[in-house]
Structures are given as structure tokens and as C-alpha cells.
Structure 1
Amino acid sequence: MNDDTGTRPAADTASAAPQQPAEDAEDRTGKHAGEPHHDDLGTRLNWLRAAVLGANDGIVSTAGLVVGVAGATDSRSALLTAGLAGLMAGSLSMAAGEYVSVSTQRDSEQAALALEREELAATPQAELEELTGLLQDQGISHDLAREVARQLTARDALGAHARVELGINPDELANPWHAAWASFISFTVGALLPLLAIVLPAESWRLGVTVVSVLAALVGCGWVSARLGSAPVRPAIIRNAAGGALAMGVTYAVGALLGAAGV
């Protein structure tokens, strides 16, 4: 006889309860929802760091130049001329330097990929053994490393060897023009701050506004660079601000001495 007023078995109650998906905090690939998982994350961070460093360089070098000139003369036109000349020279120099540097890096990467492509075509078995050994060096057992090497080779032999052996992503080689433009723009943006700060205010406010603006910008650059690199923030800010203050102090002293000497 059935008891309609009785309670249902615990097993039935449990089975009726909605199951919480195990993927709430972690998906099936092991990626946590709160963490960035982009294949090009490292490349993006490198570009951001380069942009921050370029802006920082533009701030410090241009500030040192215009503050040094301000120590020698009060002429607004002289300050503007010196600042613009420093801005253009610095931004073009950085752009050219980045283009040459990244072009050399890209040429080296392409040469290494070409050699790896030839080796894969000529001695595929030896390359498979090499990949197996490299995977073993990362702590994988021989049998598993061999199976992983086989699967990677079957899917994309050049890509596997490029990433594991050479540390290169063949699909994301550095672009020298991107590097050149990024450096040019970031340096220019950074250099505009001290240039405008020294030219726009009245003569009595000129130096103070420039120093405060530059130090505030350097604090911001130090904070951003530390955050991007997951480094302690305070030391980065102190180093950045101290370096900028030292540069401005030295160049102002030199400019004041030269101005007093009538040079």
C-alpha cells in the first residue's frame, strides 16, 4: 500500500534538485572566467609596454631639453623652437631605431623558420625525436612526450617546432612598421606635455607648471608600466619620478650656468 503522505526518498529528492554546472568557475579547458586567455596576450602587453616606455622617454627627454633652455633664456619662441626640434628629432629617432631593430628581429625569425622548414622536409624522423626530447625537458614522460610530438607534428609540424624549439609564433611575427609608428606616436604624445607646459603658462608660472606636470605624468607612466609587468608599483613610481626630476634639475643647472655666462 502506498503512503501518499510519506516523504520521498532522499535519493529522489537529490536527483530532482538542479545540478550546478561545474563550469561556473572553470570551463572544460581549465580556463578561469576571471583570467585573460588570449593567444596574443603577450604580444599585446609587449606593445603596451613599448608605448608606455616611448611616452615616458618623450616626457623625460623633452622636459630636460625645454627646462634646460628655460634656465638660459625666458624667450617663448626659443623654448618653442627647442621643444619642437627635440620632439621631432626624438620621435623620428625612436621610430627609425624601432624599425631597424624589429626588422632585424623579423629577419632572424624568418631565417630560423626557413631552416626549420628545410630540416622538417629533409629529416622528419630526426625532427620528431628532437621535439620529443624538448617536451621531455619540460617534465613530460617519454611515452607521453612522444605521443604529443606525433600529434603536434601531424597537425602543424612547423608551428610546433617554432613554438617549442625556437620560441617563435610563426603567425605573429613582429611588424617593423607597427613598431615604428607606435614609437613615433607614443614619443610624440609624451613630448607634447612638457612642451605645452613650458610654452603656454605665463613666465612666472612656466617652470613650476612644467615640473609638476612632468612629475605627475611620470608617476602615471610608472604606475602603468608596473601594472602591465605585474611588478611592485611604488619602486617603479619612485624610480620614474626621481629620474625625471634629476634630468630636469641637471639640465636646468647647465642652462642657468650657460645663460649666466652669456653663451
Structure 2
Amino acid sequence: MEGHRGWGPHKEPQNESISTRLNWLRAGVLGGNDGIVSTAALVLGVAGATTSSQAILIAGIAGMSSGALSMAAGEYVSVSTQRDTEQAALAYERRELAETPEEELDELAHMYEQRGLTTDLARQVAEQLTAKDALRAHAEVELRLDAGELTNPWLAAVTSLVAFALGAAIPLLAITLAPVDARVIATFLAVVCAVAATGALGARLGNARPLRAGLRSVMGGAVAMAATYGIGSLVGQTAGL
């Protein structure tokens, strides 16, 4: 399908590097799942302590806002660190190419030879790639990097923020719109369906097993919700709420 642009089961991305796709995919899936589960756990914990719809709504909105911003900040810092490491590695490689070009050419030819090419063919490939773009050739083979497409911290941060907020909206809407006597079960069911879908979708896009990923997400979410609801109920009883 054109929308996937070559990314799907048993296919590899054609227009974007794998690292770039995995960057926003990881940020989006983790952000969405965190938004769903953490907000659900928060509102259910409050619901276990009090029946006040206003308190539950305020807690949910506060949790969604703080969680989305925290997730975005964390992704930005972590991916920025990764990008700095990549840039440092490229700078070191660039310096080696400038100072010892012949040794670097021999090294590149040797790496292609280790990959299965004959000595003569490996040398030809190394020479042609070096003539075209020596840094990119060494980065791809030696560093496993695309010198022209490093990880983007802003992309990861924005993806995480939006995904967390969208995920958090699911339990928040479920517990707000459902009748008081059914809001706990309604939120639980909504969250189970949501985390199963996001887990399976992430696995599908990443060429993993959707069922296993979906079940893993459901189990984690269910445990978190049950635990916080139980804690909230205990706190509510102790405090006489």
C-alpha cells in the first residue's frame, strides 16, 4: 500500500531509514500506552477513594497534562543524548578520513570482504563508495548510521506528547461520561481495548507478533489499574472519604 511506503510485514522501509522509523514508532507507541495506562491508573485510584466526579476529572486532566509534558521532555533529552553520541562518532570518523584516508579505505574494503565479497570486489566497492561519499560509506558499514539522517529529538518529543495526550483522553472520557455506578468497569474495558490495540499496532508496524504484544500490554495495564484502584479504595476508607 502506498500509505505504508514499503513499511509493513516482511518489508523494509524504502524512503526512510529504519532508525528513523523506529524512533517515532517507539516514541508514539510508548507515549500512547503510557498515556492510557498511567491516566487510567490515576483516575481509577481517585475513583477508589472518592465518588466525586470533579475530583476525578481534575486529577485526570492534571495527570494527562503533566504526563504528556514529562514524556516529551524525557524523550527530547534521551534522543538528544543519542544524537550527540552519533554526531561525536561521525566527527571522529571524519577526522580519521582526513588524517589517514588510505588506512580508512583499506578498513572499508576489509569490512565488505568480511560480509562475503571477494577481495577484488570489496576493494572496488570501497573505492567507488569512498569516491562518492566516504563519510556516509563508513558510517553505514562501521557505525550503522545514516550520516544524512540522524535521530531527531524534536520528532520524538512531539510524537510522545501527542501520543500521550491522545492515549490519556481514552480513560478520562470513559470515566467522565460513564454513569457513576458503571464508570470503573467502563474505564477498565475501554483501557483494555485501547492498550490491546496500541500494543498490537506497534508490533504490526515493527514486524513482531501482534497477539503477544497485545496480551502483554493488556496484562500490564490490568495489573496497574487493579493495584491503584485497590490502593485508592484503601486510602479512601482509611481517610473516611
| Normalised TM-score (structure 1) | 0.84
Query: How far does residue 45 in structure 1 lie from its aligned partner after superposition?
Result: 4.3
Partners of 2:230 and 2:219 lie apart in 1 by: 16
Within 1, Cα distance between the matches of 2:13 and 2:213?
27
Q: Give deviations 1:124-164, integer Å, cap 9, x for gaps.
A: 10000110111122122211111110010011111101111
Structure 2 residue corresponding to 1:195, chosen from 155, 168, 172:
172
Query: 2:113 touches 2:122 (CA, 8 Å); kept in 1?
Result: yes
Aligned counterparts of 1:39 and 1:126: Cα–Cα separation in 2? 32
Q: Whole-Å Cα distance in 2 between the matches of residues 218 and 176 of structure 1?
A: 25
Amino acid at match of 1:38: Q
Amino acid at match of 1:110: Q
Distance 1:224 1:49 in 2: 11
Matches within 5 A, 1:1-263: 38-42=14-18, 43-262=20-239
Contact 1:59 1:190 in 2 (8 A): yes
Post-superposition offset of 1:36: 5.5
Cα distance in 2 for partners of 1:143, 1:41 equals: 29
- Per mean C-alpha deviation after superposition, the further-off stretch among 230-239 and 215-224 is 230-239
Q: Which has the larger radius of gyration?
A: 1
Aligned length: 230
Classify 1:142/1:39 alpha carbon distance in 2 versus 1 (closer, same or farther; 3 Å): farther
Question: What secondary structure, in the 3-state scheme, does the structure 2 residue paired with 1:261 have?
Answer: helix
Gaps of 5+ in 2: 1-9
Q: Which has the higher helix share?
A: 2
How many angstroms does 1:61 deviate by?
0.6
2:3 alignment counterpart: none
Amino acid at match of 1:165: E
Fraction of identical pairs, as percent: 55
Quick one: which amino acid aligns to residue 96 of structure 2?
E
CA change 1:193–1:89 in 2 (3 A) is same
Partner secondary structure for residue 168 of structure 1:
coil
- AA matched with 1:227: R
Quick one: which amino acid aligns to residue 159 of structure 2? A
Alignment check: 8 A CA contact 1:45 1:228 kept: no
Contact kept in structure 1, 2:23 and 2:151, CA below 8 Å: no
Could you say which residue in structure 2 is the equivalent of 1:17? none
Q: Which amino acid aligns with 1:178?
A: L
Match for 2:239: what amino acid? G
**Runs of 5+ consecutive residues of structure 1 not aligned to the other structure:** 1-33
Hey, what's the Cα distance between the residues in 2 that align with 1:58 and 1:35? 30
